């Protein structure tokens, strides 16, 4: 399952390294960190069953919308990533919730700033539907950041 979700993310244009670089960028000002440690935390987040389930669900919905397999009016809502459609964020919260409030704060920041891979996923030029995926990827990054914060706290 761990390998499956990694390859599903990859097929949707998101690599482990896309996520690890953002984790590093966000956390290196707070804790001593390098790319390999950041990558390790991203992988650990992806081992959680709740996270895997959110990835499977979100990507399935994006792909169904992309293939026009969903009825209107939901199809257009998904394809346009309608601002008032909040179910994608709600699903992503099932990832950040695992790591408490810090996860939520980081998710909020990523959702607004959209650095790196998140900007790519959000550009609607590709013809792809990433309505769920952008929030899921932000949540994975946020969760990895929280995991790092927690691990340093317990060592202090």
Residue reference for tokens 């810090």: 102
Residue with the two structure tokens 């761990």: 2
- Total binding residues toward Mg ion, as defined by CB under 5 A: 4
Closer CB to Mg ion, 18 or 88, in the complex = 88
Please provide the size of the chain in residues: 156
Segment 87 to 116, residues that bind Mg ion, using CB under 5 A: 88
By C-beta, is 18 or 135 nearer to Mg ion?
A: 135
d(CA 121, CA 79): 13
Please tell me whether residue 62 binds Mg ion under the rule CB under 5 A: no
Helices 133-155 and 16-27, axial angle in degrees (round to 10)? 50
Determine if 135 is a binding residue for Mg ion (CB under 5 A).
Answer: yes
- Considering only 23, 39, 62, 134, the residue that binds Mg ion (CB under 5 A) is 134
* 82 DSSP 8-state letter: -
For Mg ion, the binding residues (CB under 5 A) are: 88, 131, 134-135
């Amino acid at each position: 399952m761990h390998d499956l979700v990694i390859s599903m993310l990859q097929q949707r244009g998101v690599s482990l390294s896309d996520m690890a670089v953002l984790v590093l960028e966000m956390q290196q000002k707070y804790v001593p960190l390098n790319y390999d440690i950041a990558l390790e935390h991203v992988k650990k987040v992806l081992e959680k069953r709740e996270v895997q389930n959110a990835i499977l669900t979100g990507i399935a919905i994006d792909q169904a919308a992309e293939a026009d397999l969903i009825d209107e009016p939901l199809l257009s809502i998904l394809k346009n990533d309608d601002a008032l459609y909040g179910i994608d964020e709600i699903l992503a919260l099932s990832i950040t919730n695992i790591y408490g409030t810090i996860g939520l704060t980081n998710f909020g920041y990523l959702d607004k700033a959209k650095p790196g891979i998140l900007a790519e996923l959000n550009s609607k030029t590709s013809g792809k539907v990433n309505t769920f995926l952008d929030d899921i990827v932000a949540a994975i990054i946020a969760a990895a950041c929280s995991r790092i914060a927690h691990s340093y706290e317990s060592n202090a």
